[in-house]
Amino acid sequence: AVAEVQLRDDQYTLDHMRAFGMYNYLHLDSWYQDNVYYVDQFGRIMNLSVTLDTALQKPREVFRLPTDLTACDNRLCASMHFSSSTWVTLSDGTGRLYLIKSGKRGSSASEKWEIVFNEELGNPFIIAHSVSFVKSDAHSLAVLLLRVEKDELDTKGSGFHVTLEWVTIAERKEGDQRYEVVKRRVLQGKSVPHYAAIEPSGDGLMIVSHKPFTFMQNESDKLEENDAKVSNEKKDPLYYWQQTEDDVTVTVPLPQDITKDDIKIHFSPDNICVTLKDQPPLMEGKLCSSVDHESCTWIIREDKSLEISLIKKNEGSRWPELIIGDTRGEFVMDSSQCSKISESLMHLTSEVMNPNPEKENPPCNAQELEECDAFLEDGASLCRFDGNTLKVTHIINLGSNQYLFSVVVNPREMPCFCLRHDVDALLWQPHSDQPDNMWEHIATFNALGYVQASKQDKKFMACAPDYSYAALCECLRRVFIYRQPTPLATVLYNRKEGRQVGQVAKQLVATLEANDPILGFQATSERLFVLTTKTLFLIKVSSGN
């Protein structure tokens, strides 16, 4: 039987239920087609690989966890993640992490799981995600560990918080093929993330969660940051700048002993460089927009400040900043600009809070919303964290775009996530290496957002990596499959509207012959794998029927 771990009496919060009670015990190896794994009650990792031309084999043992799982009182379920085509990260649920070199998986001939690293990493955790990459000539693995921990300071909430520990393990420089932990960083939040994944390069992290996550700092880091804060507070701006529709004026306070001959200013269509005496440039960088560099001038004013006039090439455009990324200056708005802006915003505001509540068409009528439109979680957000600065670089408020599920389309990329957009469900592929196209919309499941909302008992949701169908299962027996629309071979008319129908999207329901709850659910392009305590079901979802 599958090594299911029931929630204990002290794991009573919604977060415990989400992280561990709704855990997917079936693991899909995205690097090899139709290849799934689960852990059984003897601590054996069992694999089932399906090849199209052979009969179904029995699940086979590929590895056995060295520890006796039943001996640990506060253990969680065992978890695993396939970091690459030859590396696996594995947890036994007691707080120990294993790095496994597996050989090429999916066939018994080349698959051999060997422990390369194993270490106790504190409280029990489950593996949320992992990646394998090469950095400065050393092979590294980054793993994301999820824990729900008691929070003594939280007296008003649930009494628990959620941590994500980002652990980087790298090959030692000695070349003895031994691995060691080189970095451990912890993020803390108040809800179990819907989605948490490390970028393929190991340089960043993306999280979709209902409540925000922040990095916990070491005491030494905190002191350094406080020092930096104090020094930042004392500093005056390096320069002040103003703008009109056609020009930008920059004022730089100068030290006492600077004369006209000490100042060198170089203008080009997109850049500026200001140097005093033989010092490093005082201001240098790419301007926010192009200027007519031949018409730009500078003078020294009576109050010993340097005044630079830049003539905008695109008249009328407002610059949000002077030099891209330079925060050392301060923008000064003159009073006429202030009144102009407030006038242009006037129509958006009203003196009275709700001037006409009896109006015929109120902006939104809560009574017209259907039950499935009332989201339990308003305000989830998608954040990207930079691995070096540990700061958020991007944040998107998902609002009513409810998170539905995630799926690996290409194992070399980050997992995709599916969000509800109105009645549909849209699939988004993160591209961490493309700042201008960081989230790409790659597929749409028509009406899936609406349909899934009515399934009160849904436990897992997934879609095929080729987007040919989406599927969801309830806690017991029933599996729903939603195919993408396909062209019809015969002519079909919609009698009500008298129009010809060219495509039909089929919905299928499978009822499993099992009384045990569903513990695992994975979709591939050809089949659905559904795991209960004692049975692994395969549902063939071929595109033809």
pLDDT at 258: 85
Average pLDDT over residues 507-517: 92
Task: Report residue 503's pLDDT band, with 50, 70 and 90 as the boundaries.
Answer: confident
Q: Which residues contact 189 (CB under 8 A, 6 or more apart)?
A: 161, 162, 163, 164, 209, 211, 212, 213, 214
Residue range 394-423: mean pLDDT, rounded: 94
pLDDT at 130 over 50: yes
Quote the CA–CA distance of 288 and 499 in Å, as a whole number. 54
Most confidently predicted of 60-69, 247-256, 276-285, 472-481: 472-481
Burial 10-45 (b: 16+ CB within 10 A, else e): ebebebbebbbeebbbbbbbbbbbbbbbbbeeebbb
pLDDT average, residue stretch 437-449: 93
What pLDDT is stored for residue 367 in this prediction?
Answer: 46
With helix as H, strand as E and coil as C, how does 375-406 read?
CCCCCEEEEEEECCCCCEEEEEEEECCCEEEE
> Got the DSSP string for 218-255?
PHHHHHHHHHHHHHHHHPPPSEEEEE-SSEEEEEEE--
Q: Would you state the structure tokens that stand for residue 28, as one six-digit string?
A: 């899909």
Query: Which two three-digit tokens encode residue 420?
Result: 């509800």
- Which is more confident, 376 or 434? 434
* Region 238-250 average pLDDT: 90
360: pLDDT strictly greater than 80: no
For all residues of the chain together, what is the average pLDDT?
86
- Domain 1-218+378-399 CATH assignment equals 2.130.10: yes
pLDDT value for 463: 97
* Least confident interval from 175-179, 275-279, 347-351, 359-363: 359-363
**pLDDT greater at residue 236 or residue 239:** 239
Cα–Cα distance measured from residue 419 to residue 442, given in angstroms and rounded to the nearest whole number: 12
Report the range of poorest mean pLDDT among 3-17, 323-337, 372-386, 454-468. Answer: 372-386
When pLDDT is averaged across residues 13-28 and rounded to a whole number, the result is 94
Structure tokens at 347: 């129509």
CA distance 540 to 545: 10
Query: What totals of helices (H) and strands (E) does the chain contain, helices first?
Result: 4, 38
Tokens representing 125? 């955790």
Torsion of CA 445, 448, 450, 452, to 10 degrees: -160
Confidence of residue 226 (pLDDT cuts 50, 70, 90): low
Other C-beta atoms closer than 10 Å to the C-beta of 248 total 20
> What one-character DSSP code corresponds to residue 341?
H
Mean per-residue pLDDT, 188-195: 95
Residue 98 backbone phi and psi in degrees, to 5:
-115, 135
In this structure, the strands spanning 79-82 and 87-91 are antiparallel
**Residue 364 above 60 pLDDT?**
no
pLDDT for 437 beyond 90:
no
Q: What percent of the chain has pLDDT over 90?
A: 56
Q: What is the pLDDT of residue 346?
A: 62
Between the CA atoms of 230, 231, 236 and 241, what dihedral angle is there, to the nearest 10 degrees? -100
Q: Given this model, what pLDDT does residue 316 score? A: 79
> How confident is residue 217, by pLDDT bands cut at 50, 70 and 90?
confident
Which amino acid is it at 249?
Answer: T
Q: Reduced to 3 states, what is the DSSP secondary structure of residue 27? A: strand
Sheet order of strands, 96-101 included: 79-82, 87-91, 96-101, 114-120
- C-alpha distances in angstroms, 368 versus 362, 378, 420, 449? 11, 18, 19, 18
pLDDT in tens, 275-289: 988 888 888 999 988
**CB 427, CB 467: distance < 8 Å:** yes
CA torsion 123-126-128-130 (nearest 10°) is 80
Report the pLDDT value the prediction gives residue 302, as an integer from 0 to 100.
83
Domain ranges of the chain: 1-218+378-399, 239-327, 402-544
Mean pLDDT score, 157-177:
87
Asked whether residue 38 carries a pLDDT value surpassing 90, the answer given is yes
Return d(Cα 293, Cα 273) in angstroms, integer.
Answer: 12
Within 172-203, strands assigned E span 179-189, 195-198
Q: What is the pLDDT of residue 206?
A: 97
DSSP character at residue 517: P
Mean pLDDT across the stretch 71-81? Answer: 88
228 pLDDT tier (thresholds 50, 70, 90): low
Confidence of residue 304 (pLDDT cuts 50, 70, 90): confident
CB contact at 8 A, 356 and 186: no
Residue 339 predicted with pLDDT over 60: yes
DSSP code, position 7 = P
Which of 522, 540, 536, 532 has its CA nearest to residue 405? 522
Q: Which residue has the higher pLDDT, 161 or 225?
A: 161
Q: In this model, does residue 362 exceed pLDDT 50?
A: no
Q: What pLDDT does 224 receive?
A: 55
Contact predicate 97/56, CB 8 Å: no
Looking at mean pLDDT, say which of 156-165, 187-196, 359-368, 446-455 comes out highest: 187-196
**Is the model's pLDDT at 67 over the cut of 70?**
yes
Q: Other CB atoms closer than 10 Å to residue 497's CB: what's the count?
A: 8
**44 pLDDT higher than 90:** yes
- pLDDT band at residue 366 under the 50/70/90 scheme: very low
Average pLDDT over residues 200-211: 95
Whether 175 has a pLDDT exceeding 80, the answer reads no
Q: Which residue has the tokens 């007691």?
A: 94
Distances (CA, A) of 124 to 185, 194, 246: 16, 20, 62
Q: Hey, what long-range contacts does 512-516 have (CB within 8 A, 24 or more apart)?
A: 512/477, 512/478, 512/479, 512/537, 514/477, 515/476
End-to-end Cα spacing for the chain: 33
Instruction: Quote the CA–CA distance of 532 and 319 in Å, as a whole number.
Output: 60
Do 239-327 and 1-218+378-399 fall under one CATH topology?
no
For residue 221, pLDDT beyond 60: no
Which alpha helices (H) appear in 352-475, and where do they start and end? 448-453
What mean pLDDT is predicted for residues 103-125? 88
Question: What would be the CATH architecture of the domain defined by 239-327?
Answer: Sandwich (2.60)
Cβ atoms of 522 and 26 closer than 8 Å: yes
User: Which residues, listed in sequence order, are joined to residue 138 by a DSSP beta bridge?
Assistant: 135
Q: Is the pLDDT reported for residue 425 higher than 80?
A: yes
Nearest to 382 by CA among 403, 365, 409: 403
